[in-house]
Structure 1
Amino acid sequence: MVSTPLSPDAVARASIRPEIRALQSDLVAWRRRLHQYPELGFREHLTAAFVRQRLEEWGIDRETEVAGTGIVATVRGAAPGPVLAIRADMDALPILEENEVSYRSKHDGKMHACGHDGHTAIALATAYYLSQHPHTFQGTVKIIFQPAEEGPGGAAPMIAEGVLQNPKVDAIIGLHLWNNLPLGTVGVCSGPMMAAVELFDCEIQGKGGHGAIPQQTIDSIVVASQIVTALQAIVARNVNPLDAAVVTVGSFHAGRTHNVIADTAEISGTVRYFNPELAALIPQRVEQIIAGICQSHGASYKLDYRKLYPAVINDGAIAALVRSVAETVVDSPAGVVPDCQTMGGEDMSYFLQQVPGCYFFLGSANAALGLAYPHHHPRFDFDETALGMGVELFVRCVEKFCSV
């Protein structure tokens, strides 16, 4: 299904309460401040200090230095009740920004090219609003400001340090500003939403020699080339056609000149899939293919296969709650996109393995303003109108899950 983007007037009429509309200028200021000082995973010291200072000003309970630079804010409602967690990531990417804007990155070679500055601003405003309106919900909201989503992964260390306990979290939600959807849309689905992420590096050891005397060699380039081609058969012939999966070789290095057969070749790639049942099959087939082709040529290999993040799998009931809320905020069923899966990965998956929850996309692209570059592009930016919509979505999810 392709969603029909809402018109600018429809976006302006989106059901955002006056108190949250009044926070828009602060949201933009916070986001732009964070954008100017991007920091990589587990080094988000300035970002964490900014978050901590705001929480202190507002008198919100907080735990700092969780898994290094993480912060957990706790906001309590009018009475005891369920515990809902909201997760926002804080880290940036090692990218040199090309945008010519007043809030351009001041840290050369580092950039918020994925919207995490916006996520942090939305989570801050949500914490502020809830702290000012505790009578609108019962129970507890834990807002998790997470480091290192882009790598090496901050969710698992935060879980290990107990962020889902004391009090025990009953459900969790999170959003991702998404330039693959236009402003005024929300992408939410139940079940698998984002893929598991795995990486592999393989060195093929052959026997080098003269390009004119190949019978004296074991050509590592020929061996590696056959491996690259054969790996595609995993998805084509080993994976159920009803399951989505990707095996991509993104790097191939071998040889230095015209007339020398290379003794070694190196290939690197990534594997993506939704179905957890493929977690054992695909790495097994990758190594079987590499081993078989190497053996047939008399070559040897070294394989390093690494699992990064499991698939993001949304709970059906929490996804239904988010969907029902989204339909009231964008005020049009056409603005809610159910077919929003992507082979991109996210370590929100670790939280969703522990408690039921939902991760969803908030459309943030505005092509008319030139704000439609893809994520991780050096000119990535988004329509900041989405910030207030994100706060409204979070607040309504809290009010519905923790209803008075």
Structure 2
Amino acid sequence: MFRAAIAIILPLFSLSAFAQSDKLVDKLASDIEADVISWRHHLHEYPELSNREYKTAEYVARFLRSLDLDVQTGVAKTGVVAVLDSGKPGPVVALRADMDGLPVPEQNDLPWRSEQRGEYNGNEVPVMHACGHDTHMAMLMGAASVLTSMKDKLHGKVKFIFQPAEEGAPAGEKGGAEVMVEEGVLKNPDVDVIFGLHISANNDIGTVSYNSGGTMAAVDPFKIVIHGKQAHGAYPWKSVDPITTAAQMIMSLQTIVSRELKIIDDAAVVTIGSIHGGNRSNIIPNEVEMVGTIRTLNHAAREHVYEAMARKVKGIADSMGATAELTLPLDYNYPITYNDPALTAKMIPTVERTAGKDKTILAKPVTGAEDFSFYQEKVPGLFMWLGGKPLDVAVEDSPAHHTPEFYVDDAGMKLGVKVLTNLTLDYMDAHND
């Protein structure tokens, strides 16, 4: 009888505690919403390119210091990291936002549109937050403010990570999450879990989308150089033709996905994005160069594609009397953005409670990539999509990410602040040993 009474009382108490906490989080997020919007507008108007986020970092660091947080700057060149210490034992929860803009000319008619210019690989280019990183920073600043004001309810520490160069470092440089991890961003204090949100111009405001396991693809760029024998185009029998070799290679590489992977389980992409060889209609060249990208959503598929690429490139080159060099990966690669299944199952109820069960959507994985994956290689992580599309805009009319017309509505950010805050609070409460 006594055991049964406890079983009934504890859930009721838990629900009551959640309700009180949610009410406070909602009030604090509402109180700061105008500031979050203001921060977003400023950051949008003054974007900076990857590894060049100097003024952005100053702006973010100044705000974090105003909260009396322990702030570190210059991480991975321009990154900013702040720690909120509750003074009580508990886990270390990391929250991450990316900071860089893109070399894209903004075409939106906004009072806070970007007119900024920057240098990209030696050329002067327009700069725009064409992927929503301005909203990511503003939402994380909002979550930092709310969590700081709720410090007495925390158990453990919160690490706020503002990361540069998610879009990729300039040629000849390294950057982004990979470098932040190398420089110890998940250490001192050691991070137990990490959460991240990405705004989506294709998902309705008020929604949160997620997937368990492989969520965004690993990225593995590659280069193939085929060496043949040059000859006059009228006498092809005197050549070892790298162009026909390349043609056979391109078609064969597509069979890795269509014939070697169990595609109902192992979605993957092998794309040749560029091919160069020859300079005249009547000369068979001695060399062809191809570059491309591989996208995979699980480790077994990734390993298989690596093996199959090497096998096919060598085999086809040998069969044509040519030689070939495969460079894989080429200059960078991203792991799979992998949402830890146990963590996802544990935390999705928090998201459902915050956004609403009908607004929390199990989505299919995508073959785009995110360097949030470097954190998830080291600690369990959960990465989700936050809706930013106005409800009165049809999906087909919503501009795509990385385009001059890209737009997400300010109204979506309050939910992002609440989700980041509640994930932190609930994780800490569940691990308050």
Same fold? TM cut 0.5? yes
Is the 1:204–1:299 Cα contact (8 Å) retained in structure 2?
yes
Matches within 5 A, 1:158-197: 158-197=180-219
- The match for 2:172 is none
CA distance in 2 between counterparts of 1:280 and 1:397 reads: 33
**Could you list the runs of 5+ residues in structure 2 that have no partner in the other structure?**
1-21, 118-125, 170-174
Structure 2 counterpart of 1:360, which letter? M
- The match for 1:382 is 408
Is the 2:69–2:83 Cα contact (8 Å) retained in structure 1?
yes
- The match for 1:5 is none
Is the 2:226–2:323 Cα contact (8 Å) retained in structure 1?
yes
CA distance in 2 between counterparts of 1:208 and 1:378 reads: 44
**Could you list the runs of 5+ residues in structure 1 that have no partner in the other structure?**
1-13
280, 288, 294: which one aligns with 1:271: 294
Q: 367-376 vs 99-108, which deviates more?
A: 367-376
Displacement after TM superposition at 1:78 (Å): 6.2
Q: What SS does structure 1 have at the residue aligned with 2:377?
A: helix
- The match for 2:370 is 346
Q: What SS does structure 2 have at the residue aligned with 1:22?
A: helix
Q: What SS does structure 1 have at the residue aligned with 2:385?
A: strand
CA distance in 1 between counterparts of 2:213 and 2:60 reads: 32
- The match for 1:364 is 388
CA distance in 1 between counterparts of 2:107 and 2:285 reads: 38
- The match for 1:308 is 333
388, 394, 400: which one aligns with 2:420: 394
Q: 335-344 vs 153-162, which deviates more?
A: 153-162
Q: 256-265 vs 348-357, which deviates more?
A: 256-265
Structure 1 counterpart of 2:400, which letter? P
**CA offset digits 1:180-233 (Å, max 9, x no partner):** 322221112221111111001122222333333222222222111111100011
Displacement after TM superposition at 1:269 (Å): 0.8
- The match for 1:38 is 47
Q: 71-80 vs 339-348, which deviates more?
A: 71-80
CA distance in 2 between counterparts of 1:102 and 1:81 reads: 44
Is the 2:205–2:391 Cα contact (8 Å) retained in structure 1?
no
- The match for 1:319 is 344
CA distance in 1 between counterparts of 2:134 and 2:88 reads: 32
- The match for 2:262 is 240
**CA offset digits 1:289-340 (Å, max 9, x no partner):** 1122122222222322115111011122321343212212222x22111123
Is the 1:366–1:383 Cα contact (8 Å) retained in structure 2?
yes
- The match for 1:125 is 142
Is the 2:49–2:102 Cα contact (8 Å) retained in structure 1?
yes
- The match for 1:54 is 63
RMSD: 2.1
CA distance in 2 between counterparts of 1:328 and 1:283 reads: 42
Q: Does 1:227 align with 2:249?
A: yes
Structure 2 counterpart of 1:21, which letter? S
CA distance in 2 between counterparts of 1:271 and 1:265 reads: 20
Q: What SS does structure 1 have at the residue aligned with 2:299?
A: coil
Displacement after TM superposition at 1:391 (Å): 0.3
Structure 1 residues 340 and 75: alpha-carbon distance in aligned structure 2, compared to 1, 3 A threshold: farther
CA distance in 1 between counterparts of 2:288 and 2:204 reads: 43
CA distance in 1 between counterparts of 2:259 and 2:365 reads: 23
Displacement after TM superposition at 1:369 (Å): 4.8
Q: What SS does structure 1 have at the residue aligned with 2:403?
A: coil
216, 224, 233: which one aligns with 1:202: 224
131, 136, 139: which one aligns with 2:156: 139
Is the 2:92–2:193 Cα contact (8 Å) retained in structure 1?
yes
- The match for 1:299 is 322
Q: What SS does structure 1 have at the residue aligned with 2:253?
A: helix
CA distance in 1 between counterparts of 2:33 and 2:279 reads: 56
CA distance in 2 between counterparts of 1:149 and 1:17 reads: 30
Is the 1:321–1:397 Cα contact (8 Å) retained in structure 2?
no
**CA offset digits 1:379-403 (Å, max 9, x no partner):** 2111121111100001111121122
Q: Please, what TM-score do these two structures have when normalized by structure 2?
A: 0.85
- The match for 1:114 is 131
Q: Does 1:289 align with 2:308?
A: no
| % identity of equivalent residues | 38
CA distance in 1 between counterparts of 2:58 and 2:364 reads: 34
**CA offset digits 1:54-96 (Å, max 9, x no partner):** 1122222211111211111111236322211111111122223
Displacement after TM superposition at 1:352 (Å): 1.1
CA distance in 2 between counterparts of 1:119 and 1:196 reads: 22
Q: What SS does structure 1 have at the residue aligned with 2:129?
A: coil
Q: What SS does structure 1 have at the residue aligned with 2:38?
A: helix
250, 255, 258: which one aligns with 2:273: 250
Q: What SS does structure 1 have at the residue aligned with 2:328?
A: strand
260, 282, 293: which one aligns with 1:259: 282
Is the 2:130–2:401 Cα contact (8 Å) retained in structure 1?
yes
- The match for 1:95 is 104
Is the 2:351–2:419 Cα contact (8 Å) retained in structure 1?
yes
- The match for 1:9 is none
